[in-house]
Amino acid sequence: MSDERFHDLFGGEPSVRGSAAGRVNLIGEHTDYNGGFVLPTAIPQRTSVWLAPRGDRAVRIASAEIDQGAVRAYTLGSERREGNWTDYVQGVTRFLAEEGHRFGGFDAFIASTVPIGSGLSSSAALEVSILNALIAAFGLALDPPTIARIGRRAENEHVGARTGVMDQMAACLADAGTALFLDTRDLSYERVPLPPGAELVVINSGVSHDHSQGDYNARWAECEAACQLLGVAELRDIAIEDLAHVEALPEPLNRRARHVVTENDRVPRAVAAMKANDLAALGSLFDASHASMRDDYVVSVPAVDLLVDIARADADVFGARLTGGGFGGSIVALVRRGAAKAVAERVTRAYASRSGLTPTILVPPR
């Protein structure tokens, strides 16, 4: 079907396809741009790109989900921020060329089932899928850390969203059967099997976010200010035993730093709980993470808090939390194995009734 759409739009056939999955972060939120630990896993929803090289430096791109499939165009070497979805593609080609990789113009059709603004890394899935298609089309030699770095530069320096590297690394390396225990400082990682006694439920709250806007970037700036006062390069450098130094910071920097330090401590504890199949401990860490994001980092919103509370009240749920950068988006819940579908349906029914919003069950896939 997408081959036909490509032909309708561009008058030819795609020669390659690139793809990347969305991700749900189990725990470790707002730690990646502070040099800390994260624990994402892949979700079934993906972004795919059908691409064909051209004989010039023109780029023509279209999205199945945005602009009613209208074709947008720009020229390699003349990338500029336009304030729309094409900025992610333009940022990728801008920094791919800046880092010395040779490629030409192309036509590309993009289709995605990763919901935009859901906290499930739709932007990184787009960046990495475009890069994977360009690698295949032009024979580029890029390893996952390089792909992730270029994607992050596109998001940070071209789009203007000061995100960390977790999303791009997850889009490159995460799979559905394991969680990627990633150290964002040195990009070392371990694949940790998901606990056999549990399943995941991921629900989009129906409240979307935009990380290129001010609130997310303000949290980054607050972390930088806390680092300056603490005399460290990154909040990763503050151990959990040194929280007294954090508590002495002025408001709100004390709470912002406290979240990062305690959240970074929760990630390896969550890994240990997963390896031990200790679902009660893992669920408690989910709950503590959400409370910290709500109260210290202040990135939750009332609708998401309600969705988390409804999920926690279910007898088959071990724990639940906001996942992703916040200001809307999705929750992830750890539930008893075999109960995921029923839990998701119960929770979304109650949430829709109480909030008036329309939630979407993303995991398990319907």
SS3 of residue 270 by DSSP? helix
| Residues whose CB falls within 8 Å of the CB of residue 4, separated by 6 or more in sequence, listed in order | none
Which H or E element spans position 94? helix 86-98
| Crossing angle (nearest 10°) for helices 253-275 and 279-295 | 170
Q: Point out the catalytic residue in the list 32, 87, 167, 314.
A: 167
Q: Is position 167 annotated as part of the catalytic site?
A: yes
Distance (Å, whole) CA 147 – CA 172: 8
Cβ distance 263 to 30 under 8 Å? yes
Helix, strand, coil in percent for the chain, rounding step 5: 45, 20, 35
Distance (Å, whole) CA 223 – CA 353: 38
Strand runs labelled E in 9-103: 16-25, 37-38, 40-53, 58-63, 72-75
Q: What are the residue numbers of the active site?
A: 167
